Amino acid sequence: MTARQFRPGVRWVPVIGVLLLASLAVVVVFAGLPFVGSSQATVSPTAPVPTPVGTDVQATAPVATEPADDAAWWRMRFDLMAMGDVQVIDVGTLGGGVVATVEVPMQVVDPDVLVFPMRSIIGPAGGLVVTISADGPESVLRSIDAASGEEREIVRTTHLVIDAQFAGGTSIVFLTADRATGQLTGSWLVDAVAPAEPRPVDGLLAAEPDIQLVARAAPSTRLIATPTGDVVAVLRCNPAAACGLRAVNLVDGTRYAQQIAAGDEPIGLAGELVFLRPMCMEMACVGELLDLTTGDRTPLPDAGNRLFFDEVVIDTEAGAVLVTQQSGNIMPMEGQAEAPSVVVTELGDRRSGPPLEIALRSMRIVPQAGHELGVELPTGWFTVMGTPIEPGAGASVPLEIFAISAADGRVVPLPVLGEFFIQG
């Protein structure tokens, strides 16, 4: 079959044969991606974008009160024989168990190139898990349907895909870099359900680098997205100096640019606000909320993180909140009697509620962009690893996976994801 030519370097071709279920897929192949700012169409308010914040999308589909059986999930398998070359993941639904086991070849980067991929799996969202893998000298984004195990190729490019995130619904934003130089070549938006030619996200990358990269600096290049996907940001850091943080509102096109200290880590976005974890080795530190428009930073004393604990920004029916763990380490000191608790802070008005006790023996919040597992949860829920009140005896303590409601601390076990183990 002769491929239809749409423009030089870009073609559409049919691909037959997926890993677990044969199907016909349309693949976009890039012989060379242009830089942002070229003559190609850019993302604008008139292009298909995520639903704007505040839009009533609950009228016909009420938010589930607990995780549903058809909710998608994935979990990394730690295969010591394959580590370094291939990652292996299980994919499935909460009610259906493991539907597919998929090998994800790692993207290989020349050690002299000052950039490398941040992650190999994103999601789930819309019932899909998306992998970022290598296929010879090309990088490939593939979706996996968690209910059927069907794979579908979304994007194939000769450039390196260094990071990707879901940006509302099944839209995906991703970054590309030159394989030889490590320089960023573009930021792009594509839909995982209806793959087409990725559209450049104008303004997300600077015309000139915000930060001059030095040895070991580029691994800090990564994407961050709001829980609703309306705003995405790129963080580029030089550990010896500072970090450039550029963001774009995909709904109205507003652009933001700020610089932060190299030690301040952005944990999550909520509209024009960024929660920063400060560089701090004390037992308790005060987090800060950065306004992308003004550059103002507001301390959040009640939401300060503690050493060895994590936090996560999630969407709720009342808006974005920050969930910060305050107690209940998964590796408690001998004789520790402190039960796990979290503080929920409404980021819109900077108001924190009282500590919310969690009915577990110990726990750890699973980061939003975690590398171990992912679960598609209803609005207002987050994922933790933890041990139940009666974990049993033995030196090796099993960590189970739970979903927790930020509204009332309700705990729902997710046994289908299996157990993790730590030595205690």
Instruction: Look at residue 280 in the predicted model and tell me its pLDDT.
Output: 72
Instruction: Look at residue 392 in the predicted model and tell me its pLDDT.
Output: 54
User: Residue 294 CB: number of other CB atoms within 10 A?
Assistant: 9
List of long-range contacts for 24-31, beta carbons under 8 Å, 24+ apart: 25/152, 25/153, 25/195, 26/195, 27/153, 27/155, 27/156, 27/195, 28/154, 28/155, 28/156, 28/190, 28/195, 28/196, 28/197, 28/198, 29/156, 29/157, 30/155, 30/156, 30/157, 30/158, 30/159, 31/158
Average pLDDT, the chain: 77
Q: Ranked by mean pLDDT, which of 74-83, 341-350, 360-369 comes out on top?
A: 341-350
Range in 61-70, 84-93, 301-310 with the lowest mean pLDDT: 301-310
Instruction: Look at residue 79 in the predicted model and tell me its pLDDT.
Output: 60
**Alpha-carbon gap, residue 99 to 111, rounded angstroms:** 36
Q: Record the tokens describing residue 53, joined without a space.
A: 């914040």
**Alpha-carbon gap, residue 79 to 141, rounded angstroms:** 22
**Alpha-carbon gap, residue 343 to 300, rounded angstroms:** 11
Q: Taken in order 271, 273, 274, 277, is the CA torsion positive or negative?
A: negative
Residues 6+ apart with CB under 8 A from 151: 18, 19, 20, 21, 100, 102, 142, 143, 144, 145
The CA distances from residue 112 to 90, 157, 181, 218, 238, in Å, are 33, 21, 9, 11, 16
Instruction: Look at residue 156 in the predicted model and tell me its pLDDT.
Output: 94
Instruction: Look at residue 405 in the predicted model and tell me its pLDDT.
Output: 96
More confident residue, 122 or 38: 122
Residue 397, strand partner residues: 422
Residue 3 pLDDT grade (very low, low, confident, very high; cuts 50, 70, 90): very low
Q: How many residues comprise the chain? A: 424
In whole angstroms, what separates CA 146 from the centre of its chain? 17
Instruction: Look at residue 67 in the predicted model and tell me its pLDDT.
Output: 94
Q: Is the confidence at residue 140, as pLDDT, over 90?
A: yes
Residue 237 pLDDT grade (very low, low, confident, very high; cuts 50, 70, 90): confident
**Alpha-carbon gap, residue 263 to 328, rounded angstroms:** 26
Residues 324/287, Cβ–Cβ less than 8 Å: yes
More confident residue, 11 or 208: 208
Residue 259, strand partner residues: 244
**Alpha-carbon gap, residue 408 to 385, rounded angstroms:** 18
Q: What one-letter code names the amino acid at 203?
A: G
Per-residue pLDDT reduced to its tens digit, 154-209: 999 999 999 999 999 999 999 999 888 888 899 999 999 988 889 999 989 876 55
Residues 401/372, Cβ–Cβ less than 8 Å: no
124 closest CA partner among 409, 322, 378: 378
Instruction: Look at residue 220 in the predicted model and tell me its pLDDT.
Output: 66
Burial of 280 (0-12, 13-18, 19+ CB in 10 A): middle
**Alpha-carbon gap, residue 174 to 204, rounded angstroms:** 11
Residue 10 pLDDT grade (very low, low, confident, very high; cuts 50, 70, 90): very low
**Alpha-carbon gap, residue 208 to 369, rounded angstroms:** 28
Instruction: Look at residue 2 in the predicted model and tell me its pLDDT.
Output: 30
Q: Is the confidence at residue 12, as pLDDT, over 70?
A: no
Q: Record the tokens describing residue 287, joined without a space.
A: 């987090």
Instruction: Look at residue 39 in the predicted model and tell me its pLDDT.
Output: 31
Residue 90, strand partner residues: 75, 101
Residue 306 pLDDT grade (very low, low, confident, very high; cuts 50, 70, 90): low
Per-residue pLDDT reduced to its tens digit, 33-62: 432 223 333 333 333 333 333 333 333 334
Range in 169-178, 182-191, 236-245, 255-264 with the lowest mean pLDDT: 236-245
Q: What one-letter code names the amino acid at 1?
A: M
189 closest CA partner among 171, 177, 207, 211: 171
Per-residue pLDDT reduced to its tens digit, 308-327: 678 899 999 989 999 999 88
- Domain spans of the chain? 1-32+67-200, 202-307, 309-424
In whole angstroms, what separates CA 281 from the centre of its chain? 25
Q: Taken in order 131, 135, 137, 140, is the CA torsion positive or negative?
A: negative
Residue 294 pLDDT grade (very low, low, confident, very high; cuts 50, 70, 90): very high
Instruction: Look at residue 23 in the predicted model and tell me its pLDDT.
Output: 32
Per-residue pLDDT reduced to its tens digit, 386-420: 988 875 544 456 889 999 999 999 999 999 998 87
Mean pLDDT of 217-239: 81
Q: Percentage of the chain surpassing pLDDT 90?
A: 46
- Name the phi and psi angles at 254, rounded to 5: -60, 135
Instruction: Look at residue 130 in the predicted model and tell me its pLDDT.
Output: 97
**Alpha-carbon gap, residue 214 to 211, rounded angstroms:** 9
The label of the residue with tokens 């004789």 reads: 335
